Amino acid sequence: MKILALAFPGLTLIDLVGPLQAFSFLPGFETQIVWQKKGPIRSDAGVTIEATHDFEDCWENPDILFVPGNTKALFAQLEDKKTIDFIADRGQRAQWVTSVCNGSLLLAAAGLLRGYKAASYWFTREHLALFGATPTDARWVIDRNRATGGGMTAGVDFGLAMVSHIVGVEHGRLVELIFEYAPQPPHGTGRPELADSTTLSKALEILPGHMAIERLPEIAKNMPGVP
């Protein structure tokens, strides 16, 4: 099971490591971390990720293409033709096309989610429709060979769901136990519909400063994923 995971400068660390930790329980697990050039990539958490391969020497036909997310750093990649073209190429070859958080925006911009249901980070979820996808507020969603997860911590749910879907429910239950995955959020404000109005307002004040969300309609023009 060959997992080709995209990494880019400023990616959200948990988006990458949560799903990959789950994928590591797939039979025959192998992974390549790919970017435009090999070498260290600094995540948004200050932890450095090593790109083991570049766009030219990585697997051409991976079993799973996986794209993590971010905020400002991901929006920069939406306007990087080399990145979008690479995702489009490998996505057409991969058996599974997957993402968590805003990574689904990159898949959609590459034309890979048109006509598919897709999850994303709550703040940008509705904008998937600009690229022809059908947004869903599910924690994770599997639509044919497309699998997408919500923001950050949803990557663990997504990864465990993928393991269960590919290998079987019994194996999925086993991995969930090994993960000790029994979340107990201390505040219960992890989604907009759960948060009080003050907390939600503060979040909305912070997020636009990091995400050029108002530019998405412009970015979506002339993208292959646009209806």
126-158 burial, b at 16+ Cβ within 10 Å, e below that, comes to ebbebbbbebbebbbbbbeebbbbbbbbbbbbb
Told to judge if 58 belongs to the known catalytic residues of this protein, a careful annotator would answer: no
Alpha-carbon dihedral sign for residues 204, 156, 141, 73: positive
Catalytic residue among 17, 101, 119, 211: 101
46-83 burial, b at 16+ Cβ within 10 Å, e below that, comes to eeebebbeebeebbeebbbbbbbbbbebbbebbeeeeb
> How far apart are alpha carbons 22 and 41 in whole angstroms?
22
Q: Annotated active-site positions, please?
A: 101
